[in-house]
Amino acid sequence: MAEVATRVSKGVICLVSALQFHEITLQLPRSVWIAIGSKDRKPAIDYPPIRVARFGEKALTLGVKTYTIGAVPVRIFDSAKSIVDCFRFRSTVGLDVAMEALHMGWRSRKAKPDVSP
């Protein structure tokens, strides 16, 4: 993840890669999932393999937190946003992955419902 973050400065680690980082999935993604803007050019990276998800401007900025991995700042969506995005991209990641993340996030208390009016 850190290597991808250094090469794609505007990108945010998302979907299954973010779920794995937050430990709310049993999936082991073969690629690093990266979110980029809807009009941004797809990064040309050979290794590690990446999967790109396109987000609108507002969706790309909400729920982003910066973590340090190997002395590299890495932008990753928080656990609640990652779960919601898996439901938004359920045809890509699979409904079973989204349901598993919701279940594990709820049980581990890493994600909780927003009950604000």
Per-residue pLDDT tens over the stretch 55-66: 999 999 999 999
According to DSSP, residue 55 is labeled: E
114 or 81, greater pLDDT: 81
14-66 pLDDT tens trace: 999 999 999 999 999 899 999 999 989 998 888 899 999 999 999 999 999 99
| Distance between CA atoms of residues 38 and 46, nearest Å | 21
Alpha-carbon separation of residue 45 from 58, 72, 93, 110 (angstroms): 25, 18, 21, 31
Give the pLDDT confidence score for residue 114 in this predicted structure: 64
Give the pLDDT confidence score for residue 116 in this predicted structure: 52
Residue 115 pLDDT greater than 80, yes or no:
no
- Range 74-88 average pLDDT: 94
pLDDT tier at 68, thresholds 50, 70, 90: very high
Give the pLDDT confidence score for residue 91 in this predicted structure: 96
